[in-house]
Structure 1
Amino acid sequence: MSDREAGPGAALRTSRPAGPRAKAAATIAARLTFEAVGHAYDGVVSVDGVSLDVEPGEVLCLLGQSGCGKTTLLRLAAGVEQPSAGRILINGQEVSGPKAFLPPERRGVGLMFQDYALFPHLTIVANVMFGLTALPKGEAEREALQALARVGLESHAFDYPHELSGGEQQRVALARAIAPRPSVLLMDEPFSGLDRRLRDSVRDETLAVLRETRATSLVVTHDPEEAMRMGDRIALMRRGRLVQVGTASEIYHRPADLFTARFFSELNVVEGRAGGHEVETPLGRFETPGTLEGQAVEVAIRPQGVALQPADAPPDRRNRRPGVPGRVVETRFLGEVDLVEVAVEGLDQPLKARLRGGPALPPGTDVTVSVDPAEVLVFAK
């Protein structure tokens, strides 16, 4: 929802500088554990044997394509769905499994939906009070106003959702989720409805609140950059299973397979066969792990690892690897970088390079192509 769509007064409110945001009160973080959890919809497997441990106070991002099972895993943790196999524990207590099933309201879990799910007929403070029904009305209102202060929206307490911008509605949903001070906070694609202009700032504000509350947080996203920016760790899913779990740096530099590597960056993929701890390609020879000896392999080259020089330029002495000849097919200006496609003998598809600075390379330019080995990954085919 854009500011223009949010109502006649929204643009004025969002342009006004917000007051200082109150600090969030810390909660007692809990450990969230999935043990061999399975789930199916009408016989179709959606979650397949997932085992995952989320540390107290950790922000873990569940990453994957649409339909991979990440939202289902979130709903299982919340108690909205029941597992068909395995169990889920919070601080070592079984909340879903063969021996127990605690309803959502007894789990100490906060759930933030993708569409915010605000009640249009209730004021903002009444929306935040919705999860505080166990408290007397006066105390619930004080807690709700405090939660709104944490996200910088106490001045909008008696407005209605349609009067707020998309970014403000997202912060109201966050205030409602943290008001009961949950030990575990579950967030389903919380920023997908925001335009790019708002997304970064609202995401940073949300992360600051999560750090202050210290709630154990499980955040579902399909955006790898968002996962890398927010998560202490990332759990990548595919077809209901975990593919790899680790920090952003671990997964980016040491991806488990080609699927994982492709998820985090664009790749040029060249096929070959490993032999003598190396693989021969039209772009030169690259090292391979000894475990791949004699196997057909796929060599993945990140575009930022491809360097181009005009063929008539003096050789770059800093580059110890000899280059191969190529010809520029297309050049696209992308602001900070140029995306250049180069035809190289022996390759079926043009090689993509992301170049920062340097001379312009219009189509038809003969170039020398070299590759940085640090940007090369080799996987079994």
Structure 2
Amino acid sequence: MSHLNLNRIDLAFGDHVVVRQLSLSLEKGRIGCLLGPSGCGKTTVLRCIAGFERLAAGEIHLDGVLVSTPGSTVPPERRRIGMVFQDYALFPHLSVADNIAFGLRGEDAAARRARVQELLHLVGLADQGSKFPHEMSGGQQQRVALARALAPRPSLLLLDEPFSNLDVELRERLSYEVRDIIKATNTTAILVTHDQHEAFAVADEIGIMNEGRIQQWDTPYNLYHRPANRFVADFIGQGVFLRGKVLNDHQVQIELGVLDSNVPLVCCADCAGCVQGSPLDVLLRPDDIVHDDASPLRAEVVHKAFRGADILYTLRLAGGAKVLSLVPSHHNHAIGEQIGIRLDVDHVVTFSDDDALPTASHHGLTTAA
């Protein structure tokens, strides 16, 4: 049985439906993430799990116990849920040690001290217990907030945009630290964020949300390489859609060559197969386009974004379409320069005009156009 299970939940504020028939499940010790644009309902789902909002439909089970239905809601304080907030919410008048001990008031003094020291060591602040929050950096404060949430050994940990107040470099480093800390305690957790880099760094499974629904609940790898629809394909990573034409059930022709899919192409939602000549959009990621000076295929550099180790090139093909290519930065080409490229597609992902489910292949074989 899943540790956390949401079964077709709805939530509305008046006539405005915020969450629609949303379901997800998470096993014990796994880290899940709700990822999506602002206003998609992800924080509202977190509030439903915490018990702060009443459901209009559906059920929520936590550790096998029914905690939310439209008719009844277990109060937040009885759910054994820890929360880490965007603004840390530390008590400024309490020391770091006392902040962490705040949720341990039911234990004796010796047990509280032992648990606080254990968590200070776990979050890398073993000698910082006597300090006050204002004496610490943002990253340190966030680790204190995490330690405080973990102190009572919660059944579930909820993290609401926990890194948004930090600078980019610290946010990335702390994301990995937080994952390690959560995993070390075997705590089940749900993260809410609009930043896919954070989601990929922290979560085992991610739900892409849009307009109150989960579009796809999957691993980061599958979200990137096997998106369930155009929204997921467009939201995750970077890429372009290049127009293609079906050659047969397993081959599609694009300007750059022929792609071979090891699963049948999907041309419509309710048809048996693809008709030769049917149009499809093919998703190409920056890592699908390889810079190769020896290739006869050429493309014009129209934009470049230096990223340190890599350069992200926007390239114009002979037919006018544009693609992206991620190239090691020692290949530094000028705007307007023609460079050689070749396809290296391991996952053929195509979409029909009616946005049917994509095909996703484990390898794509290319030939010259």
TM > 0.5 fold call? yes
Among 296, 306, 326, the residue aligned to 1:333: 306
Report what 2:30 is aligned to.
58
Report what 2:287 is aligned to.
304
Q: Does 1:46 find its partner at 2:18?
A: yes
- Secondary structure of 2:164's match? coil
* 1:333 maps to amino acid: F
Q: Does 1:243 find its partner at 2:215?
A: yes
Structure 2 portions without partners, runs of 5+: 268-273, 354-369
- Secondary structure of 1:220's match? strand
- TM-score, with length taken from structure 2: 0.84
Shift of 1:359: 4.7
Contact conserved, 2:55 with 2:70, CA < 8 A, in 1? Answer: no
Among 231, 253, 270, the residue aligned to 2:203: 231
Pairwise CA RMSD of aligned residues?
2.5
Contact conserved, 1:302 with 1:376, CA < 8 A, in 2? Answer: no
Q: Does 1:162 find its partner at 2:134?
A: yes
Which whole-Å CA distance do the structure 1 matches of 2:200 and 2:60 have between them?
Answer: 26
Which whole-Å CA distance do the structure 1 matches of 2:259 and 2:288 have between them?
Answer: 13
Shift of 1:104: 0.9
* 2:281 maps to amino acid: E
Which whole-Å CA distance do the structure 2 matches of 1:303 and 1:163 have between them?
Answer: 43
Contact conserved, 1:327 with 1:366, CA < 8 A, in 2? Answer: yes
Report what 1:342 is aligned to.
315
Report what 2:360 is aligned to.
none
- TM-score, with length taken from structure 1: 0.81
Identity %: 37
Shift of 1:217: 1.0
Q: Which moved more, 1:129-138 or 1:190-199?
A: 129-138
Report what 1:253 is aligned to.
225
* 1:207 maps to amino acid: R
Contact conserved, 1:30 with 1:216, CA < 8 A, in 2? Answer: no
Q: Does 1:181 find its partner at 2:153?
A: yes
Which whole-Å CA distance do the structure 2 matches of 1:274 and 1:100 have between them?
Answer: 53
Shift of 1:198: 2.1
Shift of 1:181: 0.6
Report what 1:9 is aligned to.
none
| Cα distance change, pair 365–200 in 1 and its aligned pair in 2 (3 A) | closer
Contact conserved, 2:302 with 2:315, CA < 8 A, in 1? Answer: yes
| Cα distance change, pair 358–202 in 1 and its aligned pair in 2 (3 A) | closer
Cα deviations by residue, 1:275-330 (Å, 9 ceiling, x for unpaired)? 423433332333463331245421111122223455xxxx45xxxxxx54433334
- Secondary structure of 2:252's match? strand
Which whole-Å CA distance do the structure 1 matches of 2:290 and 2:187 have between them?
Answer: 45
Contact conserved, 1:302 with 1:375, CA < 8 A, in 2? Answer: no
Shift of 1:357: 5.5
Shift of 1:157: 2.2
Cα deviations by residue, 1:242-272 (Å, 9 ceiling, x for unpaired)? 1111222222221112222233321122234
Matches within 5 A, 1:62-141: 62-98=34-70, 100-136=72-108, 139-141=111-113
- Secondary structure of 1:373's match? coil
Structure 1 runs, 4 residues or longer, greater than 6 Å off: none
Which whole-Å CA distance do the structure 2 matches of 1:149 and 1:324 have between them?
Answer: 56
* 1:86 maps to amino acid: G
* 1:188 maps to amino acid: D
Shift of 1:352: 2.4
Among 240, 250, 253, the residue aligned to 1:280: 253
Contact conserved, 1:188 with 1:221, CA < 8 A, in 2? Answer: yes
Q: Which moved more, 1:350-359 or 1:39-48?
A: 350-359
Shift of 1:32: 0.9
| Cα distance change, pair 307–197 in 1 and its aligned pair in 2 (3 A) | closer
Contact conserved, 1:31 with 1:91, CA < 8 A, in 2? Answer: yes
Contact conserved, 1:324 with 1:368, CA < 8 A, in 2? Answer: yes
Shift of 1:159: 2.2
Report what 1:372 is aligned to.
344
Which whole-Å CA distance do the structure 1 matches of 2:339 and 2:87 have between them?
Answer: 50
- Secondary structure of 2:91's match? coil
Report what 1:221 is aligned to.
193
* 2:28 maps to amino acid: P
- Secondary structure of 1:131's match? helix
Contact conserved, 1:39 with 1:85, CA < 8 A, in 2? Answer: yes
Shift of 1:187: 1.0
Cα deviations by residue, 1:152-193 (Å, 9 ceiling, x for unpaired)? 324332322111110110011011101111111111122222
Contact conserved, 1:30 with 1:184, CA < 8 A, in 2? Answer: no
Q: Which moved more, 1:235-244 or 1:95-104?
A: 95-104
Q: Which moved more, 1:143-152 or 1:165-174?
A: 143-152
Report what 2:5 is aligned to.
33
Which whole-Å CA distance do the structure 2 matches of 1:333 and 1:155 have between them?
Answer: 40
* 1:39 maps to amino acid: L
Among 216, 220, 240, the residue aligned to 1:268: 240
Which whole-Å CA distance do the structure 2 matches of 1:287 and 1:218 have between them?
Answer: 38
* 1:153 maps to amino acid: L
Report what 2:266 is aligned to.
291
Report what 1:201 is aligned to.
173
- Secondary structure of 2:82's match? strand
| Cα distance change, pair 271–149 in 1 and its aligned pair in 2 (3 A) | same
Which whole-Å CA distance do the structure 2 matches of 1:146 and 1:364 have between them?
Answer: 59
Q: Which moved more, 1:70-79 or 1:192-201?
A: 192-201
Q: Which moved more, 1:358-367 or 1:216-225?
A: 358-367
| Cα distance change, pair 341–56 in 1 and its aligned pair in 2 (3 A) | closer
* 2:307 maps to amino acid: L
